């Protein structure tokens, strides 16, 4: 891979990650969902020790786990419909994605590491919280460009004083 190829991959990956953050913050749910493949996995494992995360979402506790985009679509439906009382009203959020690194890239897939922070203002509580951690995105090329095939999230400050959902991680 040439330097030009790596720079191009980094620019393309960054655009996907930045768009994802922007769509969540603007609550542009259809566009956010459009970034994911139908068979995507969205996983926020729980900590099972000081330095160990759960390793299997089907056998151990996860803070959030969706095995396909249909799970994300259902979550968005609940948020929009008011069926999620805990998410009404939705907090105002600002996500920042940092330290983006393309770990592996081929013509039709890439693995992208990054760090993130999410600043959230919760109206009901009149309080702000900051969540932060690491992302590992697996991207896959589609007819519409790069899509998220897997999003693995590590929440570093896992003491959660309020609800945790797709919009604040």
Instruction: Tell me the average confidence (pLDDT) per consecutive run of 10 residues in the chain, 169 residues long.
Output: 90 98 98 98 95 96 96 95 81 97 95 98 91 98 97 91 87
Taking a C-beta distance cutoff of 8 angstroms, is the pair 169, 133 a contact? Answer: yes
What HEC string does 100-165 produce?
A: EEEEEECCCEEEEEEEEEEEEEECCCCEEEEEEEEEEEEEEEECCEEEEEEEEEEECCCCCCCCCC
The string of pLDDT tens digits covering residues 106-129 is 999 999 999 999 999 998 889 999
The owner of tokens 């109206």 is 123
User: 90 lies in a domain?
Assistant: yes
Name the pTM for this structure: 0.95
Phi/psi at 106 (5° precision): -130, -175
How high is the pLDDT of residue 3? 87
User: 122 lies in a domain?
Assistant: yes
User: 147 lies in a domain?
Assistant: yes
Q: How far apart are CA 34 and CA 17, in angstroms?
A: 13
User: 151 lies in a domain?
Assistant: yes
Q: Which domain holds residue 59?
A: 3-164
How high is the pLDDT of residue 40? 98
Q: How far apart are CA 161 and CA 138, in angstroms?
A: 30
How high is the pLDDT of residue 77? 95
Number of structural domains (the chain) is 1
User: 25 lies in a domain?
Assistant: yes
User: 169 lies in a domain?
Assistant: no
User: 120 lies in a domain?
Assistant: yes
Phi/psi at 131 (5° precision): -110, 150
User: 100 lies in a domain?
Assistant: yes
CATH number at residue 47: 3.10.450.50
Q: How far is CA 48 from the centre of its chain?
A: 21
């Amino acid at each position: 891979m040439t330097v030009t190829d790596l720079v191009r991959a980094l620019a393309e990956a960054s655009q996907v990650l930045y768009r994802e953050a922007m769509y969540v913050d603007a609550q542009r749910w259809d566009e956010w969902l459009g970034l994911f493949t139908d068979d995507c996995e969205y996983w926020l494992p729980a900590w099972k020790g000081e330095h160990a995360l759960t390793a299997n979402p089907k056998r151990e506790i996860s803070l959030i786990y969706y095995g396909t985009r249909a799970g994300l679509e259902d979550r968005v439906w609940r948020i929009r419909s008011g069926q999620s009382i805990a998410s009404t009203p939705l907090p105002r959020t600002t996500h920042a994605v940092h330290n983006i690194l393309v770990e592996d890239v081929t013509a039709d897939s890439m693995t992208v590491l990054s760090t993130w922070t999410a600043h959230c203002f919760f109206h009901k509580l009149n309080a702000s919280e900051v969540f932060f951690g690491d992302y590992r995105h697996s991207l896959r090329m589609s007819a519409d460009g790069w899509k998220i095939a897997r999003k693995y999230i590590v929440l570093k400050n896992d003491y959660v004083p309020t609800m945790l959902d797709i919009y604040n991680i």
